[in-house]
Amino acid sequence: MKPIQVGILGIGTVGSGVFNVLQRNQQEITRRAGRGIEVTMVSRRNVAEAQALVGDRAQVVADARAIIANPDIDIVVELIGGTTLARELVLEAIAAGKHVVTANKALLAVYGTEIFAAAHAKGVMVAFEAAVAGGIPIIKALREGLTANSIQWVAGIINGTTNFILSEMRDKGLDFAVVLKEAQRLGYAEADPTFDIEGVDAAHKLTLMSSIAFGIPVQFDKAYVEGITQLGAQDIRYAEQLGYRIKLLGITKRTAKGIELRVHPSLVPAKRLIANVEGAMNAVMVQGDAVGTTLYYGKGAGSEPTASAVIADLVDITRLHSADPAHRVPHLAFQPDAMSDLPVLPMGDVVTSYYLRLRVADQAGVLAKVTGLLADAGISIDAVLQREADEIGGEGSTQTDVIILTHDCTEARMDAALVQMQALPTVLAAITRIRKEELA
């Protein structure tokens, strides 16, 4: 049978990984797919650089649209990134009747509804395993492996850069800014790391997982996003003393009122497996009513781990290439006419527990005033840790840190209590608030 022909838009780190793994494992992949899969065209503005990557084994063009226009190309792999040109090219490829594989989480988180609708109307597939958690097959697990379950929540470490930074801060006791520079030097963080450290990259990925888990439209604009830039080394140290570790988590939950969709630093019990995921690794926990808790762990980025996911999509499409579109797995797991209209909850309605750190004057009665305000707000306290003043500012210091762990309450109630606590004259700095997730 004639091999499936693939064109790669934007051959770089991931594209070259796809090309090389396909070449290396061609025999095994063909046995699994039922026919060969060949990359016959690649595009890159710098043709010489692309030529150096693929040699004479594929045609190299500067214009990505030349690949889309080629009637022999069956599948287009979009690895350009961004949301402007990539959106145009993906929609053009769909209109031309090509199947699409993409690793572009930002594109799908923002324009996924439009792209999936266009693909459904045209009867082609858009596959995106590589868009979330690199080489971890979490999309296939959510969309197919757990299809018998009513999924209750998904929680994941889905950004390797931030996990590396938090791991280094914990291991070495260094502040965020110092570790960020080291992460940039080692190549874990970009020159402009904003999307990573502010949680945007994780929110793109979480938006896609939430849609598949709960059958809701892609709604990145409704996600709550908070990064790690305000975390201090002392918070990581205090969390450790209390039996927790701080991780940047993407969390999406089904509740009676709607869907939670949020990315923020979280205290996680140190005994949880996900709390022990270190360095640039990724991990995703999924809670289903039938299966219980499952954990997926592996490399979230890199040339060949991501290529592994891209090629898995290529194999899936090859297997289903000639199948009736109505019999294929839906893009977001649920049939398009059966999507839910459950709302994404505003953060004020989210219920969770909290870690609070207050820098206060070392005076009698300060703790009583703080705990009194929490009690007045209906917020119960789980634990209190008060540091000796000498530990904070040295001998003779007049300041100390008070750390409070609370039981569950709504975010809106906690926000109101924080305003009152911050107004106390004995509270000497901005209060640090970190949400706590038991993930039981």
Known catalytic residues are: 205
State residue 162 phi and psi, 5-degree precision: -70, -35
Query: How long, in residues, is the chain?
Result: 440
Q: 122 vs 54, 118, 297, 354, CA distance in Å?
A: 32, 6, 35, 48
Number of H helices, E strands in the chain: 16, 17
DSSP structure string for 178-224 = HHHHHHHHHTSS-SS-HHHHTTHHHHHHHHHHHHHHHT----GGG-E
CA 242 to chain centre: 27
> What amino acid occupies position 16?
S
Residue 386 buriedness (CB in 10 A; 0-12 / 13-18 / 19+): middle
Return the closest-CA partner of residue 247 out of 262, 232, 236.
236
Q: Helix, strand or coil for residue 290? A: coil
DSSP 331-398: TTSS-GGG---PPBPPGGG-EEEEEEEEEEES-TTHHHHHHHHHHHTT--EEEEEE--HHHHH-TT--
Looking at the DSSP assignment, which residues form a beta bridge with residue 377? none
39: closest CA among 52, 24, 54, 49?
A: 54
d(CA 170, CA 416): 31
SS3 category, 291: coil
Residues 6 or more apart whose CB falls under 8 angstroms from that of 433 comprise 354, 355, 356, 414, 418
Six token digits for residue 20? 């090389």
- In sequence order, the β-bridge partners of residue 261 are 252
Q: How many CA atoms lie within 13 A of 7 on its CB side?
A: 26
Q: Are 16 and 60 in contact (CB under 8 A)?
A: no
DSSP string, 35-83: S-EEEEEEE-SSHHHHHHHHTTSSEEES-HHHHHH-TT--EEEE---SS
